[in-house]
Structure formats: C-alpha cells, structure tokens
C-alpha cells in the first residue's frame, strides 16, 4: 500500500541482516523466518524478496559475516605467538567460537544450498581467507611441507573440527562415554599434525 522511501536498498539490506542476527541470538536458529524478519524491521514479508532470492540467501550472508568474525578472532589470538603456541591459540579461539550456545555458529552449518549450483564468490572469498589463515599456521609448524599439501591439510582440519563441534557440541554423543568437545578437538589436531610431521 504505502510507499516506503525511508531506507535505501543498502540500508534495507543491513536492516535485514541485523534483524536476522538479533533473532537467532535471542530466539535461536529455528526462529529465523521471513515473517519474523519482516515484522522486526517494519516491512512486509514480500519486501525481503526484492533484496534476496530466498531465506537461504539471507542465511548465507549472515554466515559470511560469521566467517569474517571467526577469522578475526583467530587472527587476533594467534598474532603474537609462534610455533606450537600458534596452534594452541588457534584451537582455543576456534573452540571458544563454537560453543553450542553461539547461535551464529549453529547457523553456519544449517545452510542448505541447491545441489546444482556452487556457492557465490563473495562467500567463497570469506571461506578461503579463513582457510588460508589456518594454512599459514600449519605451514609454520610444518616448514618442509609443500603449499598444496598444507592447503589440503587446512581443509581437512576445518571439516573435521566442524564434525567434532557439531556432534560433540550438541549432545549427540551423550551416553556413549565421549570426552568433552575440547578434548576431542585437541586430540584431533595434535595427532593429525603430528602425523603430518612424521610423513613430511
């Protein structure tokens, strides 16, 4: 009905992402719906579809932000350290970020994109930047290792850590005598890196 010129396209874009972030932090990932986002910013649901193809695209934009934050967290903590301490600080920063109460982390792996299409460039860039940071840290521990091998290892670690934090962080392993998420993540990373050292 009414014409709204209160916000430019870019302002609206930010409004949507900010509202979405607030929703998941206050009410959890399952509360993130088109109708609730719209109501929170005072627009109708239809308006969202002028800016985004669908809800999944909003999720993807939020996730891009999350990757940036995780990058920043790791980067800051790792900065001043060397060698093994670098690895310790990385894993600590990562674990801190992936607390199951961190709804943004939960959202990061909720996204399901259609099988036929690849992830958009702006998302891939964020992910690559983070993977490259992990690779740099690994490289400092494995000086003899080639770049291709290091990149591969960084990706293996990234996926593996995700598995541990999503399974053990939720209570999917309750009652099966698993140790804590932190112990599992540290076991993974130290033994994996140790194995790489041995191989290299």
Partner DNA sequence: ACCTGAACACCGTTCAAGT
The length of the chain, given as a count of residues: 200
Which C-beta is closer to DNA: that of 8 or that of 80?
8
Six-digit token string for 161: 């850590």
Select the binding partner of residue 79 from a copy of itself, DNA, none (C-beta < 5 to 8 A, by kind). none
Which C-beta is closer to DNA: that of 19 or that of 78?
19
Tell me which residue of 60, 66, 57 sits closest to 25, measured CA to CA: 66
Report how many residues bind a copy of itself under the rule CB under 8 A: 50
Identified binder of DNA from the candidate list 14, 22, 45, 120, rule CB under 7 A: 45
Residues 151-170 that bind a copy of itself (CB under 8 A): 151-153, 155-156, 158-164, 166-168, 170
What is the rounded CA–CA span in Å between residue 94 and residue 73?
8
Select the binding partner of residue 41 from a copy of itself, DNA, none (C-beta < 5 to 8 A, by kind). none
Instruction: State CA 126 to chain mean position distance.
Output: 10
Residues 49-68 that bind a copy of itself (CB under 8 A): none
Residues 98-117 that bind a copy of itself (CB under 8 A): 100, 109, 112-113, 115
Q: Where are the alpha helices (DSSP H) in the chain?
A: 9-27, 34-41, 45-51, 55-78, 83-97, 103-108, 121-141, 147-167, 181-199
Which C-beta is closer to a copy of itself: that of 20 or that of 151?
151
What is the rounded CA–CA span in Å between residue 62 and residue 16?
10
- Return the range that interacts with DNA (CB under 7 A); candidates 2-10, 72-80, 104-112, 142-150: 2-10
CA quadruple 78, 79, 83, 84: dihedral, nearest 10: -20
Binding characters for DNA, 47-76, by CB under 7 A (x = yes): x-xx---xxx--------------------
Token pair 């036929």 in the structure block, residue: 116
Residues that bind DNA (CB under 7 A): 1-7, 9, 12, 31-36, 38, 42-47, 49-50, 54-56
């Amino acid at each position: 009905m009414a014409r709204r010129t209160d916000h430019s396209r870019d302002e609206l874009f930010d409004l949507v992402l900010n509202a979405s972030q607030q929703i998941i932090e206050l009410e959890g990932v399952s509360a993130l719906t088109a109708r609730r986002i719209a109501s929170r910013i005072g627009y109708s649901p239809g308006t969202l579809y002028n800016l985004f193809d669908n809800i999944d695209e909003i999720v993807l934009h939020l996730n891009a932000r999350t990757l940036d934050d995780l990058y920043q967290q790791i980067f800051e903590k790792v900065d001043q350290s060397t060698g093994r301490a670098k690895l310790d600080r990385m894993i600590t920063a990562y674990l801190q970020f992936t607390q199951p109460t961190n709804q943004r982390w939960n959202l990061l792996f909720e996204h399901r994109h259609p099988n036929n299409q690849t992830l958009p460039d702006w998302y891939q860039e964020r992910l690559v930047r983070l993977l490259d940071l992990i690779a740099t840290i690994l490289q400092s521990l494995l000086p003899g290792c080639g770049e291709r091998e290091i990149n591969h290892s960084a990706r293996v670690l990234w996926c593996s850590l995700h598995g541990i934090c999503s399974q053990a962080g939720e209570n999917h392993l309750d009652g099966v005598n698993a140790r804590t998420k932190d112990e599992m993540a540290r076991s993974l990373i130290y033994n994996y890196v140790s194995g790489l050292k041995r191989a290299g």
